Amino acid sequence: MGTTTRSAAALAALALAAGAAHAGEEKVKLKDAPGLDKVRGVCVACHSLDYIPLNSPFLDEKQWRGEVNKMAKVFGAPVKPEDVDPIVAYLAKNYGRR
Ligand code: HEC
């Protein structure tokens, strides 16, 4: 078995392990932009960050704000009041409905 084949097998094993990991250990890659660190810090606690790209066709800025507030107020997401604006801005800019 050549080195290429072997590392491909190792990668496949890694991918399997990642797939089995808890949703908190993120493999979803969100767009790198201001506010991403805050989104990553808060939004992985309960569900996959997949929820963000999955909902991007439907939500505009106002609706994203509603989502973030709902996560905080209804589900108890630990969003600091001063982080709401940067998080909403990030979501609307990178994953907002156009
Ligand atoms: C305290 C737990 C918690 C945190 C933290 C959290 N969410 Fe959620 N989120 C939920 C629950 C519960 C649901 C609805 C049930 C489900 O589908 O898993 C949900 C659903 C969603 C949905 C799907 C639409 C909907 O309203 O059901 C989106 C989009 C979403 N979350 C975005 C976010 C974003 C953005 C953040 C970071 C600001 C975040 N969530 C942080 C608990 C959380």
The pLDDT tens digits for 17-39 are: 444 444 455 578 899 999 999 99
What backbone torsions phi and psi does residue 39 show, to the nearest 5 degrees?
A: -60, -50
Burial per residue of 74-91, b for 16 or more beta-carbon CB atoms within 10 angstroms, e otherwise: eeebebeeebbebbbbbb
User: Domain map of the chain by residue range?
Assistant: 24-95
Alpha carbon nearest to ligand 1 atom 40, residue? 43
Does ligand 1 have an atom closer than 6 angstroms to the CB of 83? no
Which pLDDT belongs to residue 98?
Answer: 83
Which pLDDT belongs to residue 20?
Answer: 41
**Residues 46 and 74 sit within 8 Å (Cβ to Cβ):** no
Which pLDDT belongs to residue 14?
Answer: 45
**Nearest ligand 1 atom to alpha carbon 87:** 38
Quick check: 81 pLDDT over 50? yes
**Residues 64 and 19 sit within 8 Å (Cβ to Cβ):** no
Quick check: 63 pLDDT over 90? yes
**CATH number listed for the domain at residues 24-95:** 1.10.760.10
Find tokens 């399997």 and name the residue.
16
More confident residue, 93 or 98: 93
Find how far residue 44's CA is from the centre of its chain: 6
Does ligand 1 have an atom closer than 6 angstroms to the CB of 68? yes
